[in-house]
Homo-oligomer: A and B are copies of this chain.
């Protein structure tokens, strides 16, 4: 397939790099300031080398990538909230051209799910978004495979930065501010860590999962419009106010604390929870886990690397593999 990749951060770069080994060609690659477009296949290495040297990625405008020849648009620009722009407009343009869209950007799926499905219904293109939840973990695909109508709840540990901070606090008896500074030094936490430590990132992922469950109960886009959730519907509590002493107390009882998100048909809750120290939810580092409660198959757990360019790109490329091949 021919891919147009929007976004040249860790995920977009890795998608463009790995695409040929999955049998796909990159016909356009854009960051926020420029683009390189070539219907015969972009020289990805050269474009990224230019960017690394501080030069523009290419000589085209970013918008030219959207107008290029491609079968699927890979939307890997940063997640934005509210109207989810400019990601949502990118998705709209591609669907209106009857092209497929694969999202790594959580915004359009978490904030405008019904709008997204409405555009998809009017398009010959399909939309997939496995990479928006849990990096390499096939969370959405497993829910789809089981049948979302037979899934009652999805619970998970879905933010690696929060994991790292909580693991270090428990292991070293250090307090939040100290460990956060350390995580920032190591590059595990961003300079502005609020998206991760306040639970926003985990909540967006849970909203996406809850939307998959709710969608299964809807017979129409209108019904989905009433039922679909956004971040503002989620009850979210972060890890900022957890004192080190709380982790010590938990440890005395064989437990620890993780930022756990839960998505059910009733809604989304994210917050610090006591979990057994050796239990399945006590994953560490950037490892994520989702537990899927099903009607007939009991609980299924899927864990793996929840972040990282290559890991997330592998989820994007798995989605590309799910798309109907235009050459068939």
Most buried by B among A18, A303, A311: A303
A302–B300 contact, CB under 8 A? yes
A300–B297 contact, CB under 8 A? no
Q: Bin the interface of chain A by size.
A: 20 to 34
A200 on the B face (CB < 8 A): no
A313 on the B face (CB < 8 A): yes
Taking the closest CB of chain B, its distance from the CB of A109, in whole angstroms, is 19
A326 on the B face (CB < 8 A): no
Indicate with 1 or 0, residue by residue over A145-169, a CB within 8 angstroms of chain B CB atoms.
1110010000000000000000000
Known contacts A297-B315, A304-B297; is A138 also within 8 Å of B147 by CB? no
Q: Which chain A residues (12-40) contact chain B, with CB distance < 8 Å? A: 14, 18, 22
A328 on the B face (CB < 8 A): no
Most buried by B among A136, A308, A315: A136
**Interface, chain A (partner B; CB < 8 A):** 14, 18, 22, 135-138, 141-142, 145-147, 150, 278, 280, 294, 296-305, 308, 310-311, 313-315, 318, 321
